Structure 1
Amino acid sequence: MEREDNKPSLSSPLIPVREEDGVILEEERSHEKWFKKEEVVEEVKKQLWLAGPLISVSILQYSIQIIAVMFVGHLGELSLSGATMALSFTSVTGFSLLMGMSSALDTLSGQCYGAKQYHMMGIHMQRAMFVLLLVCIPLAIISANTRIILIALGQDVDISTEAGKFARFNIPSLFAYALLQCLVRFLQTQNIVFPMMLSSGITTLLHIPICWLLVFNSGLGGRGAALANSISYWINVLLLVLYVRFSSSCAKTWTGLSKEAFQNVVTFLRLAIPSAVMVCLEMWSFELIVLLSGLLPNPELETSVLSISLNTAAMVWMIPFGLSSAVSTRVSNELGAGHPKTARLSVCVVLVMAITEGLLVGLVLILIRNFWGYAYSNETEVIDYLATMMPILATSNFLDGLQCVLSGTARGCGWQKIGAFVNLGSYYLVGIPLAVLMAFILHIGGKGLWLGIICALIVQVLSLLTITIRTNWEKEAKQATERVYDSTVPVDIVS
């Protein structure tokens, strides 16, 4: 099959298009400002249909580590501290990097699906798996030396030793997580979301007895929880692999293993590296805030409250993250299909949904501010301090929801490099310096650290919103088409 056979006929999968002067135009003029009511309603339905299951998938996958920590908590304070530190360390040094790199598939696979270049989706996934598994090797070496690294950073020796044991047994999770993220992106960009929800649900249900068996009945203790994490992640991977291999839904997008996956790796890396930087810079800033809280007066109180705040923020973040994944899929699909007007509509709809969600969740956080602390502690000081933090947390959640869906738009368009620079400036030139200023110079304490994050989020939202408003969607559709067909290769099955 020659490359010319893969050239677009410029027949859209949804709306017929024509080519004039090298620019793809929809028959409905894509530059029209106003959308029909029917178009808006249809777009809302599509995004809710995508976002609902994706939110469930995020929560279920996140609960794997939460369940493991709950079991370890019954072993004693040292085991709990070690497991918590190990998970935080591996999140910073491994999982966040893998999540970021895999998000390059939001652009590549999503736009290929919209352009009906279905066989390229399987090749992009294989290429991503190959690259991410290679990246897992140095990440595994870092995890194997967790104890030495933590002690060198001045952490408690006993806690570092316990964390090192946990991290070593957690190494198989890295390789499973790399494959899992690629499979999730592969299915998500095809709008196949309910099988992912089902596999995540089965995995989570199995994870509970696996944890009970390995933590309490195997003699492994905290190491058993890490091993349970690894087993559960691999179960999820296996379930999705079986679905992709045997489901008729993936018959066009999975055509078998191909040696083409080992070619054009640089093309993938051009998106994967800035994608990873974009995700990691944001996630690392939150972890840095918790570390800085340990330098404040009364560090036990400050660290406890900041950790609870971060945990709460992570839970409610799953909702806008689902919306972010949905809009990333919608935008990439529509740009790949040559529908700039519909892509713009997707962004407008998700912004309204994010604002609504942020206001509702923020209201709930404020209403439960005097009771939420009891879920984590019986100490009056912790409960009262957390109550004063909740309005700040509600504000950050609202802004985080907006930046989350705008970042999803960026991934759908392929703006990862721009997003990386925005995150670098927002968090490390504005957010962290202001957090240090307010916490240590103005003596606002832990609230000052979180206010610094809010300042970063404001800059991030304004920057991404400005870029989105000024976007030429017709140009983005043309670039998406070029990206798709520049990477198109013949179907070459090797097995």
Structure 2
Amino acid sequence: MMARDVLVHTAEASDLSPNERTSLLTKPASVYSASTGTGHASSSELFALPRHQLWLDELWLLTRTSLPVILAYILQNSLQTISVLIVGRLSPEALATAAFSYMFAMATAWLIALGGTTALDTLASSSFTGSSNKHDLGVLLQRGLVVLTSFYTIVAIIWAFSEHLFRALGQEEFICVQSSRFLRYLIPGGLGYVWFEAMKKYLQAQEIYQPGTYVLLITSPLNALLNWLFIYRLGFGLYGAPIATGISYWTSFLLLAVYAAFVRGRECWGGIDVRQAVSHMGPFAQLALLGVVHVGTEWWAFEIVALAAGRLGTIPLAAQSVIMTADQIINTIPFGLGVAASARVGNLLGAHKPREAARAAHSAAVLSTIVGALILTVLMSSRNVFGRIFNDDERVVKLVADVMPYVALFQIADGLNGSCGGALRGMGRQWVGAVVNLISYYGGALPGGIYLAFHGWGLVGLWVGQCVALYLVGALEWVIVGVSNWDAEVNKAIARLEAGGLGGDARESV
């Protein structure tokens, strides 16, 4: 069937309003017979829907699907936070070592997990609705595990010899020795983190969002118990933390795999196929690498800000630590919304629904702006007492209050970056986000913010730079999404599947 005929054929079902029992996308019964749904409404019923109702339905759908994703990331971050809190009771040096080690893990291995798996956001979601062979999604999962494991191997080697790296970076001697050993113990468990994230994306591509939360509700308390057991009862001390946390990561992956095998998600698994998995890895690896750069450019910018804050003195560093601890939690909201937007846009592109994909992308941006405004209101209303949650020093509390207006404004831009970046990943345009981040952060905002910080503005100057950068990123990405040719994006989505050696257009069989 020609593409023009496909669009005409699917127009009647394109605006079907979802409910709690329907799949996010209704797939042809001839392709995915196991798909659930309430069937197609007549064209007269669909076209009778008011335009604003279609937008409200899309906003509600994105809200409903992003909530479990956000909760899952909050719980996922809590695993290492709990580990730091438990190990911190040993000594200040143990606390510093654990915090530094997990920070380094976040900027390296976790970046591969969260950035590299954006290739699955792009390819898996389009494959689920755009491929004539449902088992292509299982092949993509296996290909992702192979590619991301190879990326992780490079990180593991860096961790194994990190003592020399830390010493070259001028870290204290106990950090160089203990953190390097800490990371060596974390190497096996870190791969579990990467595989768990890949498995989540495999299920999310099938419009299955809740299992990651279910699993982490089990492994989060288990992680606390294992940390206490290994650190104190078994006497492993500091190095019990990476062992316990690593076991928690692998347990999370295995539980999610069991869910996919026996509860929901197995229809797209056609068995292990090594030959297919290791073929056509180039396009996948390219998307994964660009995803790492896209996410990493923002994360690394924050690390540079943290280093600059340390040069301003103890009080600015303490205030920055308070703000960043809170922002790490808040950031799960735009990031989770971006993941939901990626899957939604990718599904719609694979299903040959350009108009609906455009509406989903813009709905995500609108929703993120609303949520960002709500967070801004909360932060501003609590600005004078916010610092007391973490520290009683009046100087720290006052500095946090002084910086908070810029941190609050930052939330709207952060939301736009998360949602529009997610839409771009669903379109396979990770490179766009990477280029925009590089230009905005490293080409102007970071140098400008650091200049202001050391010329009388202090910590406020750093956050002014961050605000400028992220508003540029958010605005540019939304403009790019707005001027996109969505019909062309549909063709590109199918072309990406073909370049990966996957099945043809599912709609050809309709």
The alignment's TM-score, normalised by the length of structure 1, stands at 0.90
Please tell me the residue identity of whatever aligns with 1:110. Answer: S
| Aligned position for 2:55 | 40
- Give yes or no for contact 2:112–2:148 (8 Å, CA) kept in 1: no
- Give yes or no for contact 1:260–1:489 (8 Å, CA) kept in 2: no
Deviation track 1:186-217 (CA, whole Å, cap 9, x = no partner) reads 11111111122101111112111111111221
Distance 2:112 2:265 in 1: 27
Measure how far apart 1:320 and its partner are: 1.4
- Give yes or no for contact 1:434–1:452 (8 Å, CA) kept in 2: yes
Measure how far apart 1:162 and its partner are: 2.6
Task: Mark the CA change 1:16 to 1:260 in structure 2 (over 3 Å): closer, same or farther.
Answer: farther
Task: Mark the CA change 1:480 to 1:151 in structure 2 (over 3 Å): closer, same or farther.
Answer: same
Measure how far apart 1:352 and its partner are: 1.8
Distance 1:218 1:377 in 2: 33
| Aligned position for 1:146 | 162
| Aligned position for 1:350 | 364
**Aligned to 2:414, which of 370, 395, 400?**
400
1:170 partner SS: helix
Measure how far apart 1:292 and its partner are: 1.4
Measure how far apart 1:288 and its partner are: 0.9
| Aligned position for 1:465 | 478
1:425 is the counterpart of 2:439: yes
Identity of aligned residues (%): 30
| Aligned position for 1:168 | 184
| Aligned position for 1:101 | 116
1:84 is the counterpart of 2:99: yes
Distance 1:9 1:168 in 2: 57
Deviation track 1:267-316 (CA, whole Å, cap 9, x = no partner) reads 211211111111111111101110111222xx222222112211111111
Measure how far apart 1:479 and its partner are: 1.6
- Give yes or no for contact 2:280–2:501 (8 Å, CA) kept in 1: no
Distance 1:66 1:106 in 2: 27
Measure how far apart 1:15 and its partner are: 4.6
Measure how far apart 1:137 and its partner are: 1.6
| Aligned position for 2:332 | 318
- 5+ residue gaps in structure 2? 15-41, 505-510
Measure how far apart 1:16 and its partner are: 5.8
Measure how far apart 1:10 and its partner are: 3.8
- Give yes or no for contact 2:112–2:194 (8 Å, CA) kept in 1: no
**Aligned to 1:448, which of 453, 461, 470?**
461
Measure how far apart 1:348 and its partner are: 2.1
Task: Mark the CA change 1:83 to 1:412 in structure 2 (over 3 Å): closer, same or farther.
Answer: same
Task: Mark the CA change 1:186 to 1:286 in structure 2 (over 3 Å): closer, same or farther.
Answer: same
| Aligned position for 1:263 | 279
1:195 is the counterpart of 2:208: no
- Give yes or no for contact 1:302–1:446 (8 Å, CA) kept in 2: yes
Measure how far apart 1:9 and its partner are: 9.3
1:137 is the counterpart of 2:153: yes
**Aligned to 1:69, which of 78, 81, 84?**
84
Measure how far apart 1:158 and its partner are: 1.8
Distance 1:428 1:395 in 2: 20
- Give yes or no for contact 1:189–1:329 (8 Å, CA) kept in 2: yes
Distance 1:429 1:35 in 2: 45
1:339 is the counterpart of 2:353: yes
Distance 1:138 1:482 in 2: 30
| Aligned position for 1:286 | 302
Task: Mark the CA change 1:200 to 1:14 in structure 2 (over 3 Å): closer, same or farther.
Answer: farther
Please tell me the residue identity of whatever aligns with 1:480. Answer: A
Deviation track 1:225-249 (CA, whole Å, cap 9, x = no partner) reads 11111010000011011122223x3
- Give yes or no for contact 2:348–2:357 (8 Å, CA) kept in 1: yes
- Give yes or no for contact 1:13–1:114 (8 Å, CA) kept in 2: no
Please tell me the residue identity of whatever aligns with 1:81. Answer: A
1:214 is the counterpart of 2:230: yes
- Give yes or no for contact 1:203–1:235 (8 Å, CA) kept in 2: yes
Q: Which runs of at least 4 in structure 1 moved beyond 4 Å after TM superposition?
A: 11-18
Task: Mark the CA change 1:70 to 1:338 in structure 2 (over 3 Å): closer, same or farther.
Answer: same
- Give yes or no for contact 2:365–2:415 (8 Å, CA) kept in 1: no
Distance 1:209 1:435 in 2: 42
2:108 partner SS: helix
- 5+ residue gaps in structure 1? 19-26
Distance 1:116 1:35 in 2: 32
1:362 is the counterpart of 2:376: yes
Measure how far apart 1:17 and its partner are: 9.1
**Count of aligned positions:** 470
Measure how far apart 1:12 and its partner are: 9.4
- Give yes or no for contact 2:188–2:246 (8 Å, CA) kept in 1: yes
Measure how far apart 1:488 and its partner are: 4.2
1:75 partner SS: coil
| Aligned position for 2:128 | 113
Distance 1:176 1:308 in 2: 29
| Aligned position for 1:229 | 245
2:325 partner SS: helix
**Aligned to 1:300, which of 307, 311, 314?**
314
Distance 2:162 2:441 in 1: 26
Between stretches 134-143 and 9-18, larger displacement belongs to 9-18
Distance 1:346 1:394 in 2: 26
Measure how far apart 1:79 and its partner are: 0.7
Task: Mark the CA change 1:309 to 1:92 in structure 2 (over 3 Å): closer, same or farther.
Answer: same
| Aligned position for 1:483 | 496
1:57 is the counterpart of 2:57: no
| Aligned position for 1:329 | 343
- Give yes or no for contact 1:244–1:254 (8 Å, CA) kept in 2: no
Deviation track 1:362-400 (CA, whole Å, cap 9, x = no partner) reads 111111222222221122211121121221111112211
Distance 2:249 2:172 in 1: 30
- Give yes or no for contact 1:215–1:222 (8 Å, CA) kept in 2: yes
Distance 2:456 2:163 in 1: 33
- Give yes or no for contact 1:354–1:405 (8 Å, CA) kept in 2: yes
Measure how far apart 1:93 and its partner are: 2.4
1:372 is the counterpart of 2:390: no
Please tell me the residue identity of whatever aligns with 2:381. Answer: L
Measure how far apart 1:136 and its partner are: 1.7
**Aligned to 1:158, which of 165, 169, 174?**
174
Distance 1:186 1:372 in 2: 39
2:484 partner SS: coil
- Give yes or no for contact 2:449–2:463 (8 Å, CA) kept in 1: yes
1:319 partner SS: helix
Measure how far apart 1:359 and its partner are: 0.8
Distance 1:422 1:254 in 2: 36
Task: Mark the CA change 1:172 to 1:35 in structure 2 (over 3 Å): closer, same or farther.
Answer: farther
Task: Mark the CA change 1:110 to 1:427 in structure 2 (over 3 Å): closer, same or farther.
Answer: same
- Give yes or no for contact 1:338–1:481 (8 Å, CA) kept in 2: no
